[in-house]
Structure 1
Amino acid sequence: MGATTSLAGKELSVAAGATVSSTVQIRNSGTLVDQFTVDVVGEAVEWSTVEPDVINLMPGTEGQVTVTFAPPRDSTVRAGVVPFGVRVLSREEASQSRVEEGTVQVEPFTDLQVELVPKTSKCRRAARHELVVDNAGNYPIAVEMQAEDPEDELKLDIDHTQLTIEPGTSAFLRLRARPHDRFLRGQERRHPFQVTALTGEAAPITANGTVVQQQLLPKWLLPALLALLALAIIAVTLWFTVLKPTLVSAARDTAEQVVKAEQQKLTDKADAAEAKAAKAEERAAEAEKKVSEGGAVAAANLPGPVTGPGGVDLARGQAFDFRITTDPVATSNLSDFDEFTSDPLPEGKTLVVTDIVLQNPRGDSGTLRILRGDQVLLEFGLNNFRDVDYHYLEPLTFAPGQQLKVAVNCALPGAPEPATGRCRPSVSFSGRIAG
């Protein structure tokens, strides 16, 4: 049969910070000596206790357990009805365990705090404060904020005057205080004011503050102006008595030196021009003499075509521009290279590469090689570049039958390729195809 249980108080009420108790009557209705374990389930388990939590009963006997609820006086337990269950577990007949259900009403309490930061401010035109309103109670509370100064010297503005604050949270409000009257010079003026938080459940809460109004003109301004005026008078005096005559004399001497130097340059240029003209006349006379004597002028030898390695004419041939894209699979073997080739060249043609552009936009890691057949011409680390180009004064040449290949060892694909496990570098080549 297991246990027969009954809960004495199923609807309880308790103030936060206080305690309330109820009893559970347990009867061993089985035929064996049994041990019963009692605990609380539900939201109230954190602030409830059972005494004793284990009870041994002979068949047909009864025992009593006291359950105590003690909600803390803070915002962690909200006001209202909290359901709970008292569970009685039988050691001998676990399937015959029982749960008695009930509710506990947690009474509301108010704990509202208002802080003004800073309490005292200094300003010439307007001061700014911050209001911190803390709700340390256990239920949401509607608050109305009011600001006033007893002397009516300030215009006070709060960005939010009506608000609801949840338990365990704080509201941050901005308060702007602007004096009605301003003054250019004079002693500081102190303007006290108050900020009040009004609620329907508790007495008003007040925070006091002070605005210290200062003169509009900074105190250092007048001494600075006097110092500047004195410096200006000294500068003007020095200018007219010392600097101006000295500068005028120096400028006159400099101008005379510049004029003399320019005159000398013009004279030298004129002499050089006359000398060149005389030499030109002499050369013209010699040329006329040779023509008249029937002499022949030797023709200049024209330069031959510009050739590269292997006698290939770099100024002729067909220009080309192609790109080899790769997609090798990532591997941990550093000697495992996937090879990629270009389209085959026309038979008997020589490939002359003058420019190479390496591209690794995804940031792959590994090694890239450029080969002439099986010969490695260039080797690059993928993580050393994203986009780089090379121009060769001595171009790379591929004789007829030699194949241009790109080999890649993919160590680690870059974003967003890790899912596919492939690297995506590419190489662009440009140059000429010559016969």
Structure 2
Amino acid sequence: MSVQAWFSSGEIAAQPGSQLTLQLSIQNLNQSAESYTIVPAGLNASWTAVERSSITLFSGIQDVVDVVVTPPEAPTTSAGPAIIAVRVVPLSEPDDAVVAEIILSIQPFDDRRIVSLQPVKRARRRATYEFMVENHGNELASCRLKLVDTSERIDGSFDPPAVGVVPGGASLVQFKAKALRGSFRRATRTLDFEVEAEQQGHDPCIASMSLVQSPTIPGAAIFRVLTAAALLGGLTAAWFGVIRPEIRDAATDLVDERIAELAPEFDDRTAPAPATTAVDDDATIETANVGDSDGEPSFIRLTVDAPILGTADASQPIGEGITFDMTDIRVENSLNDTGIAQLFINGVQVFQWSLSNIRGQYFEPRITPIRLQPGDNLTFSVRCDAKGTTSTADTCSTRINIGGRTRPA
């Protein structure tokens, strides 16, 4: 052996991506001067660079050459021991070449990434995201997947919930997202969240994603619906509060005026079929023989609003100093309610009608004039069984118009 070479250290730790300078000692054992070529050798020669690739030594002389080693920060740089070798070749005797070796202890490093294939998706409530968990470090990554949403507006599940990725490998994961709350929206809403791959003792890797929710009910549609509802409500209020009462009052006044004009001309020929009529046989009712020229024409109008399944009445006394000869009776059931209507004189029933047989108006035919003395009391009583099918009121509204003549007592 004409040359000897060795490193000053036996083993040294190295971090991938960092640079180490090692000192290689070379001694000429030959009896004459010799030139040497120094080249990296072994499996990791690509990591190694020699500052002086050629030196000349006299006999017995020793020199030191710097060897720079740079382990790459890549998944292929496995953690653990690695051998760095340098070959020293004498130019005069190449077969006497020697190899100097040193063991590097390569340290582990982490480089984990989440690469989202769809970082932003548009949906009303649910969406499925796909992303890759990549391991660019030099040791196995065993990660659990986790949702990070501080606003608590997103929920979902991972498939699979955990992955194991070898150095330089990647694994596909699906995240099925579901938006919480906010089922009705007038405008577009963006929900931002993060997914995280974590492993105890290692820094987590995080990726940001977004769910863009389109509006479920546009603001313009809400405005149009509210406007239409307000207009309809105004028309309804105007109908029930103003127009309908005015029409009914005008119609009632017109009917009353027409009846007043035609009452003296009413006879048996124009009378409709009678409703159910009953007179108390035990009561004594005073009748009178009157002519068209006796007394002044007079009308009494009584209105009763009886609650459903209830009874109500209205009364009218005869004034002092006059008598009233009752000659005409008209019952009004304009809403077609059902029930019983009764007319009493001083508490004695003289007429009874079934409202089911009266549609609109009914004139009591062939009435014998009945004389009422001063202080006598007329009472109109109504029992409401059911309101008419077209009625919107909560009561049965029934009227009676009593015609006759008054004269001094």
TM-score after normalising by structure 1:
0.46
Q: Greater share of strand residues, 1 or 2? A: 2
Which structure has the larger Rg over C-alpha atoms?
2
TM-score after normalising by structure 2:
0.48
